[in-house]
Amino acid sequence: MSLRIHRLARLGLLAATLAAGSAMAQTAICYNCPTEWADWGTQLKAIKAKTGITVPADNKNSGQSLAQLVAEKASPVADVTYLGVTFAVQAAKDGVVEPYKPAAWKDIPDGLKDPAGNWFTIHSGTLGFMVNVDALKGKPVPKSWADLLKPEYKGLIGYLDPASAFVGYVGAIAVNEARGGTLDNFKPAIDYFKALQKNEPIVPKQTSYARVLSGEIAILLDYDFNAYRAKYKDKANVAFVIPSEGTLAVPYVMSLVAKAPHAADAKKVLDFTLSDEGQAIWAKAYLRPVRASAMPKEVEAQFLPASEYARAKSVDYGRMAAAQKAFSDEYLKEVR
């Protein structure tokens, strides 16, 4: 009798172990997939519904994600990561991501993917001013980089930390290019941020969407997709401004983490973000999907006119990545 009980206990333990292993296999860890950014909340629910894989939300920014990937290189925790393109270029150099060419690889334009597959674009955004018009309390909506230096906007401006968050670095590149700088000369941006300190800007490290909606930050250097989401989905009195001097459009990318603990499920997650359904979710969140055919006409009609977007340029993202540390060091020394 005791032998039978022992066998049954062993069988029960084996079944529990197999069940636990199966449950673990249905989880993929993503670094930098925050619910409130780029509608990752909807995307993560869709991934679960379609693939059965649970991807917990994660509220890091690109810089924090890369730092943790490097720290965990010998024993990775994450399976996939979502990064601004410059951080992905660095991640590949650091050896913390590995090549994977997803199912829709051929649909991604050259220049928006690493030829080896270390990273690939899933969507892009254009940087500008996300403005809570009500929080301005009658002040005019700023139209230019120069406007933000006016004393009337003191205490009303926010931008993400350019030394840590990708969107912060994009803002620095955008203002630098708009004011005559280059990827070899960041003096215009450094001078601009030093001048902006007189207006006592709020400088968080992570997405501040809710702080704009609440009016705590009236003017945030942010992407078009967040402003359109606030205006059309959250029905807030929010305007998006492409500054008159020009701005930057940039891709956001994903990568398979090197030695990912759940690599098979991670690949399914990456495939889904580029599927028709995954790309449609990005488009409905006002991001430009990398597969242009996924952008519905009725969504595109809610964007600013093409004539406004003509002021948004691209740069050599590889050079932008190479220049990032030097800019960050200079910013930390001169501004913060």
State mean pLDDT over 60-71.
95
List every span in the chain annotated with CATH 3.40.190.10.
28-124+250-300, 126-248+306-334
Asked whether the predicted pLDDT for residue 87 surpasses 90, the reply is yes
Question: For position 52, what pLDDT does the model report?
Answer: 97
Question: Residue 9: which pLDDT band, with cuts at 50, 70 and 90?
Answer: very low
Question: For position 178, what pLDDT does the model report?
Answer: 97
Question: Residue 336: which pLDDT band, with cuts at 50, 70 and 90?
Answer: confident
Q: C-alpha angle 216/222/227, rounded to 5°?
A: 80
- Per CATH, the number for 126-248+306-334 is 3.40.190.10
Q: Which two tokens stand for residue 112?
A: 């928006």
Q: Which two tokens stand for residue 200?
A: 């006592």
Q: Which two tokens stand for residue 229?
A: 């989401």
Question: For position 25, what pLDDT does the model report?
Answer: 53
Tens digits of residue pLDDT in 174-229: 999 999 999 999 999 999 999 999 999 999 987 789 999 999 999 999 999 999 99
Asked whether the predicted pLDDT for residue 114 surpasses 80, the reply is yes
Question: For position 37, what pLDDT does the model report?
Answer: 85
Tens digits of residue pLDDT in 245-269: 999 999 999 999 999 999 999 999 9
Question: Residue 295: which pLDDT band, with cuts at 50, 70 and 90?
Answer: very high
Residue type at position 241: V
Asked whether the predicted pLDDT for residue 8 surpasses 50, the reply is no
Question: For position 5, what pLDDT does the model report?
Answer: 47
The mean pLDDT value of the chain amounts to: 92
Asked whether the predicted pLDDT for residue 12 surpasses 80, the reply is no
Q: Structurally, what CATH architecture does the domain formed by 28-124+250-300 represent?
A: 3-Layer(aba) Sandwich (3.40)
Question: Residue 15: which pLDDT band, with cuts at 50, 70 and 90?
Answer: very low
